[in-house]
């Protein structure tokens, strides 16, 4: 196997602020909490951090989608940097990680702070309108603009309805994603929603946009997540066993358009997964658990399939009854409750949970058998990113 640069990079620390439906702190202070926890977790000092990366950067709006950028946290922590970057154009939320891998390989920095801060719960309480998609903004604008496509749920339901139609997945199978994750969240003290739900609860919940019910949608929250990415020679001397980035998938082999993307039912995931698997000798059968993007339950279903854990259009059978994806199952999925129950930390919650599990710190929800290999993924529509994380 070629020596890809991600193999010379490891996650060495993680941090998470309080996660809630209404924060007691500002977005920047939440970010400071997560960043300092991650730096301390890695056994580093502020002075050791010489890079920062984030996605999508400070939006400068009141939506709460991203109100903290690299400059905000650099100044708050008074960091001295060799490299920094934040921006929205890239393979989803993991663009920040992939950029940092490149910067470390280029010798620009050794320890990179990566963070993602959400403040959508408070933003929606202040003004729900702030969180709705407006002209010139976000998903597919301007082509979506006049058509009352107010939210990602509505626009992305176009993919999920197509998938449901093509695959024949049953609603009671789809429900297992939400039910499983709520069960996992019940064992996670930091999760936003912790009361288990049943199939009846699922079917009694409101439909947002077919085929999505409210339990299929992630939970807007206030919270920040941070991870430290270190060059491997540095990582080896730090206190946590390095969580190596075994392989990344960052490709864009399709039309990068929310309306014109090549395959509506799979979105951009298959080629991204293919790229990830091409950069490792590991196979889907070697994966101990999966922390998959779950902006909507269907994203997770799509990733199960597109990562190759089951065949095309067979994810419904794979998750039927929920046992296989449970903490005790052959492929535990979204073990901390994910964004559906843990809170919409937007992909970095999943990375945090992967490391928490790989370091054996997950308490009541710890997956048994000393897990070492985690498949993680992010985003939907034309955006997709994938990583395989390994603790040796």
Partner 1 sequence: MTPPSGDARSQNSGQATVPPPERALPYVDMDSKAFWTGGERGELLIYRCQECAYYVHPPVRFCPKCESRKVEPEAVSGKGYVTSFTVNHKKWVPGLPDRYVLALVSIAEQDDVRLVCNILNCDPESVTMGMPVKVLFEQHEDVWVPFFEPEAN
Q: Whole-number minimum distance, CB 145 to partner 1, in Å?
A: 4
Closest CA to 26 of 56, 79, 68, 71: 68
Distance CA(243)–CA(387), nearest Å, equals 11
Cβ proximity to partner 1: between 78 and 128 the closer is 128
- The full DSSP string for 218-278 is ----EEEEEEEEEEHHHHTTSSSPPEEEEEEE----S---TTT-S-TTTTTHHHHHHHHHH
Question: What is the 3-class SS of 305-326, one letter each residue?
Answer: HHCCCCCCCCHHHHHCCCCCCC
Q: Write out the residues near partner 1 by the rule CB under 8 A.
A: 129, 132, 134-136, 140-151, 153-155, 157-162, 165, 206-212, 257, 259-260, 264
Cβ proximity to partner 1: between 77 and 145 the closer is 145
**Are the beta carbons of 269 and 262 closer than 8 angstroms?**
no
Q: Whole-number minimum distance, CB 165 to partner 1, in Å?
A: 5
Q: Would you state the structure tokens that stand for residue 104, as one six-digit string?
A: 């470390």
Q: Whole-number minimum distance, CB 313 to partner 1, in Å?
A: 15
For residue 84, what are the CA distances in angstroms to 70, 80, 143, 217?
A: 7, 10, 33, 32
Q: Whole-number minimum distance, CB 130 to partner 1, in Å?
A: 12
Distance CA(309)–CA(152), nearest Å, equals 26
Distance CA(147)–CA(268), nearest Å, equals 24
**Are the beta carbons of 49 and 230 closer than 8 angstroms?**
no
Q: Whole-number minimum distance, CB 140 to partner 1, in Å?
A: 7
Q: Whole-number minimum distance, CB 122 to partner 1, in Å?
A: 19
Cβ proximity to partner 1: between 133 and 192 the closer is 133
Q: Whole-number minimum distance, CB 43 to partner 1, in Å?
A: 47
Cβ proximity to partner 1: between 267 and 378 the closer is 267
The DSSP 8-state label assigned to residue 340 in this structure reads I
Distance of CA 296 to the CA centre of its chain: 11
Q: Would you state the structure tokens that stand for residue 89, as one six-digit string?
A: 């154009």
Cβ proximity to partner 1: between 142 and 369 the closer is 142
Q: Whole-number minimum distance, CB 159 to partner 1, in Å?
A: 7
| 299 class by beta-carbon count within 10 Å (0-12 exposed, 13-18 middle, 19+ buried) | buried
Listed in order, strand segments (DSSP E) in 72-125 are 83-86, 111-119
């Amino acid at each position: 196997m070629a020596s890809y640069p991600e193999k010379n990079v490891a996650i060495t620390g993680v941090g998470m602020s309080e996660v809630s439906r209404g924060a007691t702190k500002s977005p920047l202070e939440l970010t400071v909490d997560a960043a300092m926890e991650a730096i301390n977790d890695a056994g580093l000092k502020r002075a050791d951090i010489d890079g920062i990366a984030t996605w999508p950067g400070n939006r400068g709006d009141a939506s709460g989608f991203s109100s903290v950028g690299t400059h905000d946290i650099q100044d708050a922590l008074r960091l001295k940097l060799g490299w920094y970057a934040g921006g929205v154009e890239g393979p989803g939320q993991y663009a920040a990680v992939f950029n940092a891998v490149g910067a470390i390989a280029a010798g620009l920095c050794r320890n990179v702070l990566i963070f993602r801060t959400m403040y959508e719960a408070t933003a929606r309480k202040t003004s729900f309108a702030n969180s709705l998609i407006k002209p010139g903004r976000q998903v597919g604008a301007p082509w979506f603009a006049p058509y009352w496509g107010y939210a990602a749920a509505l626009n992305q339901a176009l993919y999920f309805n197509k998938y449901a139609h093509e695959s024949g997945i049953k609603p009671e199978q789809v429900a297992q994603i939400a039910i499983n994750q709520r069960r996992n969240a019940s064992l996670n003290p930091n999760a936003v929603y912790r009361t288990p739900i049943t199939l009846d609860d699922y079917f009694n919940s409101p439909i947002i946009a077919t085929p999505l019910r409210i339990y299929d949608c992630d939970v807007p929250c206030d919270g920040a997540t941070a991870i430290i990415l270190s060059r491997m020679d540095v990582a080896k001397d730090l206190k946590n066993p390095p969580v190596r980035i075994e392989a990344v998938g960052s490709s864009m082999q399709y039309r990068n358009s929310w309306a014109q993307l090549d395959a509506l039912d799979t979105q951009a995931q298959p080629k991204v997964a293919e790229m990830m698997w091409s950069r490792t000798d590991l196979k889907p059968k070697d994966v101990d658990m999966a922390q998959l993007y779950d902006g909507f339950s269907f994203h997770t279903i799509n990733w199960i399939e597109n990562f190759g854990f089951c065949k095309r259009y067979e994810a419904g059978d794979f998750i039927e009854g929920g046992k296989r994806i449970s903490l005790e199952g052959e492929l535990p999925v979204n073990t901390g409750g994910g964004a559906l129950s843990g809170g919409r930390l937007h992909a970095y919650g999943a990375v945090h949970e992967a490391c928490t599990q790989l370091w054996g710190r997950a308490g009541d929800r710890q997956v048994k058998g000393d897990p070492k290999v985690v498949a993680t993924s992010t985003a939907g529509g034309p955006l997709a990113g994938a990583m395989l994380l390994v603790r040796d």
